Structure 1
């Protein structure tokens, strides 16, 4: 019998890191992967977050790409939802970009 109850799945590790990102800060997909001990698994972070239920309490909107951009297409509902959530936390986008220098989470 395999007892994995003490070993979180990679998805659980990702969720734990995303849950720690404070309001008003962002992290990149790669940064979340690194902090979760999942080196070079930025795409897995994106995949995991894309599978969250719509009513999740996890602050998925605080995860952006390495260029400081939202990864959804600009005219999509998801892009607008993420933009609004970030703006409500005081995170501004200038020409579609977030200044990582100002808003990147440094745990």
Structure 2
């Protein structure tokens, strides 16, 4: 499946909809734009995201935060996102159930 030219913009649009206190996964973002199986490509889109986008609200499928981004956990915790004892986001408590 060819990656559409507007892939990044579509990912950014979905990320802008994630409410404070909730997280989405890279795979979830890819599925929401009709590109299942492109979680890594969604991550690359976020690496190039415009400033001000709440990229901190995106984690991997196990709830792990981005490697090397030490402030991500603090940003999420300040919004009330719950973490498990292992340091991963508690996706069952803080995962985003998108509407629509």
TM over 0.5: yes
Q: Whole-Å Cα distance in 1 between the matches of residues 87 and 21 of structure 2?
A: 17
Task: Please say which structure displays the higher CA radius of gyration.
Answer: 1
Structure 1 outlier segments of 4+, above 4 Å: none
Unpaired segments ≥5 residues, structure 2: none
TM-score with structure 2 length normalisation? 0.86
Unpaired segments ≥5 residues, structure 1: 1-6
Q: Whole-Å Cα distance in 2 between the matches of residues 104 and 93 of structure 1?
A: 11
Report the alpha carbon displacement of residue 14 of structure 1 after superposing the two structures with TM: 0.2
Change (3 A) 1:17 1:8: farther
Report the alpha carbon displacement of residue 88 of structure 1 after superposing the two structures with TM: 0.8
Q: Whole-Å Cα distance in 2 between the matches of residues 50 and 88 of structure 1?
A: 22
CA root-mean-square deviation:
1.6
TM-score with structure 1 length normalisation? 0.81
